Amino acid sequence: MPERRTVALVTLGCARNEVDSEELAGRLAADGWELVEDASDADVAVVNTCGFVEAAKKDSVDALLEANDLKDHGRTQAVVAVGCMAERYGKELAEALPEADGVLGFDDYADISDRLQTILSGGVHASHTPRDRRKLLPISPAERQDASGVALPGHGAAEQPAPAPADLPEGLAPASGPRPPLRRRLDAGPVASVKLASGCDRRCSFCAIPSFRGSFISRRPSDVLGETRWLAEQGVKEIMLVSENNTSYGKDLGDIRLLETLLPELAAVDGIERIRVSYLQPAEMRPGLIDVLTSTEKVAPYFDLSFQHSAPQVLRAMRRFGDTDRFLGLLDQIRAKAPQAGARSNFIVGFPGETEEDLAELERFITHARLDAIGVFGYSDEDGTEAAGYEGKIDPEVVAERLAHISQLAEELTAQRAEERLGETVEVLVDRIDEEDGPVGRGAHQAPETDGQTLLTGAAEAVPGRIVIAKVVATEGVDLVAEPLPLESGACTQGAAR
């Protein structure tokens, strides 16, 4: 009888990392590893790190150190770093953090089971050597789909065609294609992310992501559909499409409008009640895409738009496009088609050269934009980015002041936007039943974890995964409080079906 091997995956960062962790879980489960939820119950703790900004990197280091502490008083024998921070820093991270027994990059994912077994057995696997992943794929997007031997987390390995196992362990995604991704759900909730693409071809001067995530490459529609069908069979009701830039989907497949045709197909998958698209670039928004997002049944009229700033001078320094009036015009186009549409964005303050006038222009934009959720970040230099070499750096104390000011304004404005929804009818997907608050879910304008939630009052029959039609009766900051409409009005759907 094979020796019992247990592994826990600790995931930090964005929804894309969550997808990558479930791919790793699938590969490990297929090779006989037992997945456990608590790192203290695992032989190996795998920490999927985030390497986006300093705060996220600190959280990743803290998680690795916390897992390492378990080796003194728990079952844990080894701690391994994977994910963006491991990919970005590799050997440097290993040297700075000897508590990690291994630092694995994306190229190790296809052989994750062997790598962990080597480390668990006391062997040493050479730490990942970072490289600019933009150079791994052809410059021309049209030639990228034929590229082989490039690791694309969340896409599955394509370098070694292999037949699918005759009998997959229960809970693993089915095979489709030459060597499909094996995915194991780590969360039993009714929402799951599906990776639409990886990488980014944009060259924003503040962002290091393309250097360690690589150039943009789309997943084929058949793979996205197949994974969505499997997730629906697992009880998932809402799919969130994620990538570094969903508006570029299909450009390397010969059809920049491919997302417009894919969305209705995804919405038609049996069991799926809501499709949500995240990570949209304002400069790439198309009238046809707006039409599909605002008029397709089961597709949430939700716009996660990456504005970053609205002052022209700052945007040009960021190597981005647009300005306050153009961005407000885009939001007007959206709301003309779907007045209740949700909109959110993130902003950077204190960018090199940002003036008080630029900050006032940003204030003008967010004051008139009526965004449902706003994330605000203070600028800090990121290794290897163009902006790190810019002159005109702003004193950190001034950056902190601007961050506090815009953050407070954003909090007030998003609370006001929530109040505007009083009296609206919302479709609330129940996420969980809270012991104190009862059913808790989200309207179509609320993405998981980032955009607030909706508390349902008097919805005794509501269960996770069910959609409840309700009327907004109160607000708590960005959160809504809603009362289910009478059953004859379609208040609580059966089995989450309308």
Identify each DSSP E strand in 213-273 by its residue range.
217-218, 238-242
Task: Give residue-wise pLDDT tens across range 174-215.
Answer: 544 444 447 899 988 999 999 999 999 999 999 999 999 999
Rounded to an integer, the average pLDDT of 316-332 is: 97
Give residue 68's pLDDT band: very low, low, confident or very high (50, 70, 90): confident
Same domain, 92 and 213: no
Same domain, 286 and 363: yes
Task: Classify residue 141: in a domain, yes or no.
Answer: no
Are residues 435 and 359 part of one domain? no
Residue 98 sits in a domain of what CATH number?
Answer: 3.40.50.12160
Beta strands across the sheet bearing 302-304: 302-304, 342-349, 373-378
Stated pTM of the model: 0.90
Write out pLDDT tens, residues 117-160. 999 988 888 888 899 999 989 899 988 888 778 888 888 643 33
Q: Are residues 399 and 272 in the same domain?
A: yes
Whole-number Å distance between alpha carbons of 163 and 252: 27
Same domain, 433 and 415: no
Contact assessment for residue 174 and residue 132, using Cβ atoms and an 8 Å cutoff: no
Q: How many domains does the chain have?
A: 3
What is the pLDDT, as a whole number, of residue 158? Answer: 35
497, part of any domain: no
Does residue 52 have a pLDDT over 90? no
Identify each DSSP E strand in 14-159 by its residue range. Answer: 34-35, 44-49, 78-83, 102-103
Q: Which domain holds residue 430?
A: 424-484
Residue 147: the pLDDT is 72
Supply the pLDDT for residue 123.
87
Count of other CB atoms within 10 angstroms of residue 493:
15
- Of 405, 420, 435, which residue constitutes the final position of a domain? 420
Q: Is 492 annotated as a binding residue?
A: no
Q: Which of 420, 454, 475 is the last residue of a domain?
A: 420
Domain of residue 236, CATH code = 3.80.30.20
- For residues 284 and 234, state if they share a domain: yes
CATH code of the domain in which 454 resides: 2.40.50.140
The span from the CA of 100 to the CA of 191, in Å, is: 32
Looking at the structure, tell me whether residues 201 and 319 fall in a common domain.
Answer: yes
Task: Please indicate, yes or no, if residue 214 is contained in any of the structural domains.
Answer: yes
29 and 99 belong to one structural domain: yes
